Amino acid sequence: MSDASTDLPGRTYKVWAMDDVVYGPIQPDAMRQWIAELRVLPDMWVYPTDILKWVHAKELDEFAADFRRQPAAKPAPADNPSPLIEGVPPGTLRKAGLFADMDDQQLGRFAQFMQVAREKQFNIVVREGEKGDVMYLVLEGVLRVRRIIGGRETVMATLKPGDFFGEMSLFDKGERSADVVVNEDATLLKISRSAFQELIAKIPEVATPFLHALGRTMAGRIRADNDRLKRDVLVLRATRTRSN
């Protein structure tokens, strides 16, 4: 039985599914079918595209009758949680420091602006000197930041899950300062400058905790670089003193 009479004109839906992948947009009839098939449960997050806000499915009046007819769902086994992103170990995204201050709804809304990229070993994700317009977050794998100096590779840093790179491209159109090369097959999340600007314009309450976390990490990097420079200067001065 369809409850199309309760549908809102033009409204479609995105669904944050049990595998933590966002599907849609879908039409109301498809939502009813998914509810009947237990693919959409009352406490799952749904994004009506006309209100730009994640809500629990049970809060949508147009589907109240469908949920009343829905059979009881079997709970998922406690030792077999759904992955946050298909093929990525459960909890990976939540462990990333950049998302530590976000609640589930904020994280789900932020996910609308991200894309997944899977990179094979030896791929060069970004190249020194290229114009950058994308920031990357490492979900899986290992990468290295390198520069080619005098024909030799100098490794500047090693990136592991939870690390990120290319963040300056969200704020300017400058050139990449180094290559980033995949050491081990990697899964990355990426957000472009244009998507980030859209995020700030449409849902600043989600952009704010991300910017705070990004700023804290960048400040930590600057302090670490300053400490390293201070140590280098002290060593250089001590070497000059001994040589004199």
**Pairing between β-strand 115-119 and β-strand 45-48 as defined by DSSP bridges:** unpaired
End-to-end CA distance of the chain: 93
**Residue 40, SS3 per DSSP:** coil
Instruction: Give the global pTM.
Output: 0.63
22 close to 86: Cβ distance less than 8 angstroms: no
Distance CA 244, CA 239 (A): 9
Predicted confidence pLDDT, tens digits, the chain (244 residues): 455 556 778 899 998 876 667 788 999 999 999 999 888 989 888 999 998 888 999 999 999 999 999 876 554 444 444 444 555 555 566 667 888 778 767 777 787 788 889 999 999 999 999 999 999 999 889 999 999 999 999 999 999 988 999 999 999 888 999 999 999 999 898 999 999 999 898 888 888 888 888 888 888 878 887 888 888 888 888 787 777 6
| CA 2 from centroid of its chain's CA atoms | 37
Predicted pLDDT of residue 185: 95
23 close to 17: Cβ distance less than 8 angstroms: yes
Phi, psi of 238 (to 5 degrees): -65, -40
**Geometric angle at alpha carbon 181, from 179 and 185, rounded to 5°:** 160
**Geometric angle at alpha carbon 10, from 7 and 15, rounded to 5°:** 75
Reported as type and span, the H/E element at residue 108 is helix 104-111
Cite the DSSP H helix spans in 70-146.
92-95, 104-111
| CA 104 from centroid of its chain's CA atoms | 13
